[in-house]
Amino acid sequence: MVIKPVHILDDSLVQVKVPLPFPLRWVNSYVVRSRSGWTVIDPGLHTPEAETLWGQVMTELDLSPSALEKIVLTHHHPDHYGLSGWFQQLTSAPVHISGTGKAQTAALWGEGETISVTLLDLFRRHGMEEATLEQMKDHMTGFISQVSPQPELTVIRADELYRIGDRLYRPIVTPGHAAGHLIFHDEERARVFCGDHVLPQITPNVSYIPGFDENPLRSYLDSLEEVSRLEAELAYPGHREPFRTFGTRALEIVRHHEDRLEAMEQKLAEPHTSYALCRALFGDRLSIHQLRFALSETIAHLLYLRDAGRVRELERDGLIWYGR
């Protein structure tokens, strides 16, 4: 099925579906027009196809590169952040992100980064075999070109109203899917740019990344409960289509994770490594890309269960095990 990339949502807002080379197929970027120029939210992954698309979009919408006011990032993941440096080189526009998001980009892709080594060691200690670790190493290295060049980043303050286009939004820190993730809430119009925090039809990945949030699933569930109370009649997500059930969907995702936690707990009558449990839950047909996120999410769920006193963590033969 051919994806139509440009969708005019209203006089000032355009949804751009930027292609992705993995099963999600596209990420939503949003162009916000204003009296003085335009803003882009989450420009997408840096690929030749995405560069070509943005050239076509700027021509079709008559968007001058010199009129780009800023690039706004909900979070640091490559499919949202990757093109921001390319845009900055093209337009000289500032790139805005949360302070924690900025720290994550430095840890993941900054000069002398060590997080990839740390993650591989984490996966090894949680039971991943050496042959798969070698594939994972190559996979993680492959992302560098898709987030390069690195932009100069400006930090968004979450305690101040923030202008996007001609309107003021309240930035809200929404951890879980990504440390430092922000959503932007227009209180007057009851609309929200929600990034990947709340998605329709699918559930965002919640991964454990060493050195940041030590219990990301707990942070995520707490945040979902909080944002479910927002006045939000229309939500603009990072994937799939804009939707009108933001609060209801947030609580549905809470219930999904509660069910997943229960299922995991039941499987741990006998101790498992995170990797063995991941394979038991998700099967053996995952791509290396999917396996990375499935294992990281399994670890996040097990840390939640451990901290809640529902399972025990133990070390044996150099590996970390979990059991009831």
What span, in angstroms and rounded, lies between the C-alpha atoms of 133 and 279?
15
Asked if 38 and 171 touch (Cβ cutoff 8 Å), the reply is no
The fold for domain 6-112+144-266 equals Metallo-beta-lactamase; Chain A (3.60.15)
Write phi, then psi, for 37 (nearest 5 degrees).
160, -140
Predicted model pTM: 0.96
Give the mean pLDDT of 173-201: 98
Give the per-residue pLDDT at 94: 99
Domain map (residue ranges) of the chain: 6-112+144-266
- Tell me: pLDDT of 1 over 80: no
DSSP 144: G
Asked if 57 and 24 touch (Cβ cutoff 8 Å), the reply is no
Give the mean pLDDT of 268-276: 97
CA dihedral 162, 98, 68, 53 (to 10 degrees): -130
Q: Which two tokens stand for residue 265?
A: 């707990």
Enumerate the β-bridge partners of residue 167. 164
Give the mean pLDDT of 31-40: 98
Query: Tell me: the pLDDT tens digits for 123-141?
Result: 999 999 999 999 999 888 8
pLDDT band at 109 (very low <50, low <70, confident <90, very high): confident
Q: What are the DSSP calls for 4-73, one per residue?
A: P-EEEEETTEEEEEEE-SSTT-EEEEEEEE-SS-EEEE------HHHHHHHHHHHHHTT--GGGEEEEE-
Residue type, 314: L
Give the mean pLDDT of 173-182: 97
What span, in angstroms and rounded, lies between the C-alpha atoms of 69 and 66?
8
